[in-house]
Homo-oligomer: A and B are copies of this chain.
Amino acid sequence: MTAPIVFYYEFSSPFGYLASEMIGDLAQRHGRAIDWKPFLLGPVFKAEGTQSLMSYPMKGAYSARDLERTARLHGIPFKWPSSFPFLSVAAARAAYWAGQRDQAAMARVTQALYRACFGEGRDISHSSQVADVLSGEGYEVDVVEAALKDPGVKQMLKDENDDALSKGVFGSPMFLVEGEPFWGVDKLPMLDRWLETGGW
């Protein structure tokens, strides 16, 4: 039984979105499961003394350009959301809540939220918007909205976030395979090679 690819992503990270569209094929090729782990970059920025990628004048401009050409290269629909960057607490809580059932549900909810946001440019920062996206996946709006206020669900995200920080997760997307970290969409080819060769 091989270890899963642990996939860390922040819902307001457009590179996390691109990765979410690409990791499935890669994992399948190597017979690996994916462990979906949304997290919040806010505490990372605080710990590292950094800020949102797009807020840096030169790096931000480059990243926006790189994002669009990377999406074009891989044929992934991309549209800047109306609200960006945004607080992704509601989206991350929804994913963990859905993920209590199983990882397949978490994957579906993650992709529905990411596609609404960066594929269609919709705002997913508010609970009601998150519930609206999930209703397209067969969830009841009222049930989702209640879940997003549930102390247990809130705690789940908090614990996962602390755990990610303790593992040195500082960016989105980031992948861990048996403890080996890979950061960024540009690292997917190296992750692919690592899984193929067993590392070097």
Contact = CB atoms under 8 A, between A and B. Distances in A.
Interface string A184-200: 10110110010000001
A76 B44 CA distance: 32
A56 interface: yes
Contact of A187 (B49, B72, B186): B186
A72 B200 CA distance: 7
Interface string A44-74: 1001111000001111011001100110110
A56 B50 contact: yes
A170 interface: yes
Contact of A48 (B44, B56, B66): B56
A80 interface: no
A171 interface: yes
A168 interface: yes
Given A62-B183, A65-B181, 8 more contacts: A48-B56, A48-B58, A48-B59, A59-B171, A66-B183, A69-B200, A70-B190, A72-B200
Interface of A: 44, 47-50, 56-59, 61-62, 65-66, 69-70, 72-73, 168-171, 181, 183-184, 186-187, 189-190, 193, 200
